Amino acid sequence: MSKQILRAALGAVALAAAAGSAQAYVSISISDGAITKSCNTSLAVNAGNCGAGWTVSSSEIVSFSGSVGAFTVATASGSGNSPGNAFFANLSSSTTSVSYFGAGTGTLAIDLAGFGYTDPNGLLKSFSGSASGSSQLNQAGDVYQAFFYVDPDDTGASLNGLSCGVAITTNTSCNAGSTVWNDNGGSFSMRSIQNFSVKAGGIVEVTTSAIVRNVVPEPTTASLLGLALLGLGVASRRRQAK
């Protein structure tokens, strides 16, 4: 236990000394498997990136309105609060009036990632995800799934995954739960993926939220960590005295 506390204390010092210079931006893609519309706010705007249908309000707020194959999307938006704050970091998506006018069942994926988060500070963090949806016109078999990821290396990788999914009804929601992960001391990314499976004529709306918070240590653990940091301070003063 003492070695673990010492490592945690040293990690806290390194984390506090790290300079937060990561770039804050979001990247979002909307795809029916054959056609993909995408926008990465860290890249130059052109026909293939943040082109027709996209609105970039800032490096962390972007929205799309238009068609993707046999789907029409009134609005699909993504936003984050990178680099975060002392209380939490979040990544949110909101999709309104997704309509499918094709034959049989259509699938649509909305993949949102936020980069450059550095806060809240701390060695251990919790990560949670949730989704809620509604339908103006749903049919038996219409479903949505939500997947959530947090990557300590800030690459948008599918790590520390959570997921939930439900049948689409008039009003529905799902909670993906939470997990605890280790911060590497640099910047991190969050990612959420919405998967829709909708029959012809279906119209759905879904919002998702991914949140990172500090893990508050138990009193005993906090006391041990405090003692470890105090010990480091005493050792440092002794070295200086010599």
- Tokens 């997704």 identify what position? 98
Q: How many domains is the chain built from?
A: 1
Question: Measured between alpha carbons, how far is 63 from 89 in angstroms, rounded to an integer?
Answer: 20
- Please check whether residue 44 lies inside any domain of the structure: yes
**219: confidence class by pLDDT, cuts 50, 70, 90:** low
Mean pLDDT to the nearest integer, 92-98: 94
Predicted model pTM = 0.81
Closest to 64 (Cα-Cα) out of 47, 46, 80, 52: 52
14 located within any domain:
no
**Does the pLDDT value for residue 62 go beyond 80?**
yes
Q: Report yes or no on 4 lying in a domain.
A: no
The answer as to whether 241 is a domain residue is: no
Give the helix, strand, coil percentages of the chain, each rounded to 5.
15, 50, 30
**Residue 134 pLDDT > 50, yes or no?**
yes
Task: Classify residue 1: in a domain, yes or no.
Answer: no
Report if residue 11 sits inside a domain: no
Q: Range of 67's domain?
A: 23-234
Average pLDDT along the chain: 84
The residue assigned the tokens 């520390």 is: 160
Q: Tokens 């739960």 belong to which residue?
A: 177
What pLDDT, on a 0 to 100 scale, did the predictor assign at position 224?
A: 46
CA angle 21, 80, 178 (to 5 degrees): 100
The reply to whether 53 falls in a domain is: yes
Among candidates 97, 192, 107, which has minimal Cα distance to 141? Answer: 107
| pLDDT of 22 | 80
First to last CA, the chain: 30
- Whether residue 118 lies inside any domain: the answer is yes
What is the maximum alpha-carbon separation in the chain? 81
